[in-house]
Chains A and B, each alone.
Chain A
């Protein structure tokens, strides 16, 4: 089955710095790669996603890149703010609707 590895598990940055989280996946059938932000006690919230026919996508301070050949994708957050502090999950999904999540990255943005 699919295996998604996510690094780092914790990340601490200074406000205004950039944060990068990386994921690798194993199943070539995965073709949709969402990123979720989850605050304590809340539901996962989609922040950005990318499909396998696209290499890069950007939405304001957030960007995602995908390298299909290497089977890895990354989340980039620029100009981080304290409210970006949360747990971030990457996921890989197949056309059958099967989603596998990475183990999560706890991001702390220090004011």
Chain B
């Protein structure tokens, strides 16, 4: 299995809602990543997990809360988002940090109303 899966594919939420994005991989990768991509822009790194520990937080607002419950699963909890948070949220994984191929999931397209 060489795939990263993400659910849901699409999500519409109000500014007072709480929702979660889910990412899963069964490749035995120990590094997992969250990226945010706005239209016509490159992916921007948000968080990096290595061996289930948060290793990088790119000064992301606290309304985004990552969680890595086990080596296969990565969640992104969303609360009190703003309309400007609407974007494609991409999860990725790699065998380890550094010079390793990253595999991207298909993304969750989020719309905040």
Interface set of A (CB-CB < 8 Å, partner B): 31-32, 34, 42-46, 49, 51-52, 89, 93-104
Contacts and interface: CB of A to CB of B under 8 A. Distances in A.
Contacts of B64: none
Nearest to A1: B58
20 contacts: A32-B99, A32-B100, A34-B102, A43-B107, A44-B43, A44-B104, A46-B101, A49-B101, A51-B99, A52-B99, A93-B99, A94-B98, A96-B56, A96-B97, A97-B33, A97-B56, A99-B43, A99-B102, A101-B43, A104-B40
Kindly list the 5 A-B residue pairs having the minimum CB-CB distance in the complex, ordered from nearest.
A101-B42, A97-B97, A32-B99, A95-B98, A43-B104
Contacts of A51: 99
Nearest to A51: B99
Contacts of A49: 101
B60 to A, nearest CB: 13
Contacts of A43: 90, 104-107
B41 A31 contact: no
Contacts of B102: 34, 46, 99
A104 to B, nearest CB: 6
Contacts of B98: 31-32, 93-97
A103 B48 CA distance: 21
B8 to A, nearest CB: 15
A93 B31 CA distance: 13
Contacts of B106: 42-43
A46 B104 CA distance: 9
Interface residues of B, number: 25
Given A43-B90, A44-B90, A89-B42, A97 B101 contact: no
Contacts of A31: 98-99
B17 interface: no
A45 to B, nearest CB: 8
B31 A97 contact: yes
Nearest to A53: B99
